Amino acid sequence: MERIILEVDDTVGKIYRGFSEKSKQRFNQAVSLMVKKAANDANIAEYSKFLDEIGNTAVKNGLTPEILEDLLSSND
């Protein structure tokens, strides 16, 4: 487990300090899951943007649906 420091407003800090150890563990797990999901969503967005850029470049270079179909159906 790695320790990090998060800055929160005063109210949240007071609430957290009032948690039991079990509640703090649950809260920490929830924050970990939210950070992982945010990172995963960012990766998906970056991947989708990358695919869009590739598609746009291919179209600019003359790729048509017919040419793509021919390329995909060839055995080479």
Residues in the chain where the model's pLDDT stays below 70: 75-76
For residue 10, what pLDDT is reported? Answer: 94
Give me the DSSP letters along the chain.
---------HHHHHHHHTS-HHHHHHHHHHHHHHHHHHHHHHHHHHHHHHHHHHHHHHHHTT--HHHHHHHHH---
| Alpha carbons 48 and 15: distance in angstroms, whole number | 39
**Which pLDDT value is given to residue 54?**
92
User: At residue 52, what are phi and psi to the nearest 5 degrees?
Assistant: -60, -40
CA distance 48 to 24: 36
